[in-house]
Amino acid sequence: MRTSVMPPLPELPATPEGLLNPAAAGAVALLLALWLERYLKDWRWRPLLLLALSLALQGLGAYLAALPPTRGVAFAVLWNGFLGATIATFGRETVYDLFGLLGAGPRSNEQLALKLRARRWE
H or E segment and range at residue 91: none
pLDDT digits (tens, 9 = 90+) for 16-39: 777 777 777 878 888 888 888 788
Output the DSSP codes for 14-74. Answer: SSHHHHSSHHHHHHHHHHHHHHHHHH---TTSHHHHHHHHHHHHHHHHHHHTT----HHHH
Amino acid at 109: N
**Which pLDDT score is estimated for 9?**
59
H or E segment and range at residue 118: helix 109-120
What is the model's pTM?
0.63
pLDDT digits (tens, 9 = 90+) for 71-85: 988 888 888 888 888
CA atoms within 13 A on the CB side of 81: 22
